[in-house]
Structure 1
Amino acid sequence: MYISARERQILETLLTRVEGITVKEIADRIDVSVRTIHRDLKGVEDILKEYDLTLLKKSGSGIQVNGSTESIEELQLFLFNLSHNEYTPEERQTVIFCTLLEATEPIKLISLANDLNVTIATVSNDLTKVEERLNRFDLSLIRKRGYGVEIFGSESSKRRAMSSIISQNVNEFELLSLVRENIQKKSTHQVTSASERLLGLVEKKKLLIVEKVLEEINNELPYSIADSAYIGLVVHLSLAIERIMQGENIQIDQGYLGRLKDTVEYSIAEKIIEKLQKVYEIDIPEAETGYITMHLRGAKLRHDKEFLLEDTSFNIAIKAKSLIDYVEKYLDMDLSNNHSLFQGLVAHLRPALYRIKQHMGISNPLLEKIKSDYSDLFNLVKEGTEKVFPHLTIPDEEVGYLVLHFGSALISRKTKENVKALIICSSGIGTSKMLANRIQQEIPNLKDLQNISLFDIRNYDLREYDLVISTIDSPDLPKDYILVSPILTESEIELIKSRITEQGSQLVTNDNTNVFKDVSLYDTKKTLQKLQNIKEYSDVIVTLLESFEIVEINQDLPIQEVLTTVCQHLNKLDVISEAPRVVSALLEREQIGGLGIPDTSMALFHTRSVHVLKPSFKIINLSNLMSLKGMDQSQIDVDNILLLLSPLNSTQQVLEVLSYISALIIEDEKSVEIFQSKNKNLLSAHLTSKFEQFIYEKINENRSV
């Protein structure tokens, strides 16, 4: 239990004045205001409750501790043995930062000095460092003699700072321990006093309630977010509730709020707010719904499935491709055919660019290690982001995550499949991929690796795996699991190797003496689902290849008439049901942002609609050049329009295949030339060849799951 120096002083004063003492007398003794003592008394009462004691308030005589002699003596012994907290300078500055963010009035330097058991001069020096950190959040420090010190700035900036210092200073396991009691029942991990102080920003019960609400809503998200992002959202919401109850409300631009209302995340944010209002019986302003929407849209994804039919994704795919081109050029290594790298970058960049544009920020606990272990690659990727995103400042934290994706691609190689292992990693796509590939590189017979989240443990039978490797310390894992850092060290590699050697013939995957047991445990239902998935991929591909055609437009028509002509043709083929509705959807999409592909003579028109009956890919060949707005907002002369259509409620398999076509368009210069060639036979052969590779990849993926 964390007890501040002032709470300790109040308790010691109360225990020496058994007959009672006024709040004014306590304030004079400790040299703080009466208001400050009243604010601290809630914490004091919580401490007393731990010892079956209460705070008795008597009119005229003040306040006194009430309870049995044994309980009072037990508390006195606790206070006697309570050592003063020793902080490093960095921890001390963080605690000061935290205290000032919570404060509703100026705080005297003497109060901070007593709380931290240091001199006023030390606190004054620490405040200079704190001031530097405040600037990152558009906050400022007001310091006046006789007035004290306080933070000045907007509520949104204060919350951003609170979330940031919690994520940077409290490790993920400590937060997981709090918000998932069913996973962390008997944590042996010692929470430091500095960490407890930071976690004190939010009442622990609020964290648990908010997490329960989020768990109920989580399945409605159109994507799965990483544990770190999930925890970040829990912290953000808990802070929001705490601050709203204190009367602190956030502001948001109404025009921007209107645009957020059109997103799928906004409706989910509304459901979260509705549930929280019922639980806490409070009114939550609409602006809070907007900020939750922003957090959902800026969340790191847990998986690297990003469908390029989404509004912004194709433009981001072009940027990802440019970044890959830049890096491979300087590494003199071909990365253009690494679809996993491409998908991972697109999936990461979409929320990352949103975070950057909204000044949301992200913490990266691996940053210093990435800079140290992969300094050349880090500098190269950083230079690449400056070239590809000239109008944005990409923070080092984001660059670090991009480096993990490239690092994963560079160390990946085919290995012999022998040992079955489970990797539990909660840091997102890049980290888990890099860890898996590093293990595969260093230990060839560890091929069958599966990455899962700590939150997903309950869905897996850990006994089915030869090895369980985790980046998170958890008492609910098997006794013989291997704890490693997200960036594998040499000693950890040796530990994994020695564990494999120790187990020898006992490995599940090599246990030939119990063949019948293995067969009986074989999951028929799971295998049928895998086969069904492959069949769905194949069916979609066959449909697209059989119906693929190049539509010739030999007149000089505006874009609306071109699309109308083609959609009427598709209506007759029963690909769509209402041509005018589909044309409207395509034109609305063009209004959101340009569809011309930079450095080509092509434009990609795409939509998902209830009026699309089956997936379709067509190329419209124009006899005359047409000027269209490009994805980079420049004007592009186009004579090829690529048309991708998807039913609104398409399966994941349909969306993946259509997204794969989008990715193929910009895969490399040769692919661009083929799509611009207007040669149906050449295009059909190219698509057939690539789809064959795609199916083989999916078969291999399903084998390893």
Structure 2
Amino acid sequence: MIDKALLVEVADCLKKSVFGKIKLDSDQKLIELILTFAVTIKRTLAGCKLDFIHPSADSLKYQGYVYRFMALFAQKRQVEVDQNDVSYLANKLLSCDYHNTYLTYNERELAISVKVKEFVQHVSEEMHWDFQKDHSFMTKVTKHVIGLVQHKVALLPDTPIEILAGLSQKFPDLYLAIQKYWHLAFPENYLTASELQLILLYFANEYTSRNQQRNLSALVICENGIGTSAILGAKLKREFSEIKEVKTSRVSALNQIDLSNYNLIFSTLRLKGFSRDYLLVSPLLLDDELIKIRAYLKDYEQKYPQPVPAKQVVEEKHPHSVEQLAKLSISTLFCSELVNGIKIQQLEYNSQDLIAVIQECLAHSDSTLIRKQMPVAKNLLKRVRMAPVGIPNSHIALLHTRSPEITRCSFTMFDLDNEISLQSMDHDTIQVKRVLLMLAPDNLTAPEQRVMSTISSMIIMSSQNLDLFTNGSQKEIKEAIAALFLQDLKDRLLGNQ
């Protein structure tokens, strides 16, 4: 129905004028915006006009983005749009902007979001780590759980998925807390082990991506952000020495603020659907409210005490030193050979069918790595059919298998000329531009299994790592994996693992 050339032109203009200004949390929203703008232009060119469209509150800047888009598009094709078209498209941009999603739940979703908040709060208290601090994290988890509870997505299978199973071994206490409080918060919603480990992925990413601060910072939310809010902010700093920084904001500007920068949030008005805990106070901070704030601070510091760095201790007695040294020597040699064999290859003119891409990846692999390609390809296809292989919030897919036809462990990355659409582990659709292929013999030793699991866990451990494995060069990825292996070997030498 829509000409491909028009879609390409619209996507190009959106990329230059809009996509850098807003944040989209899924590829579906990107596709939705391209289609919406293309349909609007097609309708306008056909002479069909919209009835009156009321512009949403706070949509003024989005109208500016629409005008910028139209100016760029007019250089390619002559098109005339009226104010109703601009308001319609601006409203669509506003609704798709990730920063605005926390106040868009319907009543059913709002009830689920309250339970998610309680679930995250319990896990935070158990782990003494404030997971609620980052609004982006809370939004992702809430969106994911709403999909699970409302049965909008199929559960991951109740079979081990190696990249997720490795996380539960790396973060056993966090995983136990998630299992415990999921059953308390959602007793009627059974999750497979893989689904629980996927939720663990969100928490583990947050756990490793951010440092807990001790000098407390506070955000004060008011209706207009002037006048009494300044008085409130000054009084907070004067009365509470542990609060080192105070920022004030009007409620309409919340979507422009990174909430993860603030330990405490105070508001002079109720915030329906707000993802963070906050304390409702009057603009003048009365005496009884000062008592309430002291209790709030005390409660916060009890829940999330200052983390104490663990001391590294080397035992004085070494009854198995020779055996340990031999194991470390073998591990070091294995790690070195694996790192030296890491490659990035280009798949030119690749098919957009995953089965064909798998066959192309195997065909481009080292000729000494695989004895017979067909059994290995069948193993990989079996893994793909078992559960999604796309990595959440990325543009990469991880394919891995073990087979007697594989001669040694290897890690190879393939850059695709043509991106392919795949389902990710969190049931989203992503555009994959790099395929990570991990291959291993069937008879892996325990140390070798540990090393391979270390790489797969590293990939999903943080947004920085996801970016590294998506866009990094061969040298950068080799250096990062080598550094991880070195740290692991040092920890084992010091007796920490």
Using the size of structure 2 for normalisation, the TM-score is 0.41
User: Which one has more relative contact order, counting CA pairs under 8 Å at least 6 apart?
Assistant: 2
The structure having more radius of gyration, on CA atoms, is 1
Using the size of structure 1 for normalisation, the TM-score is 0.29
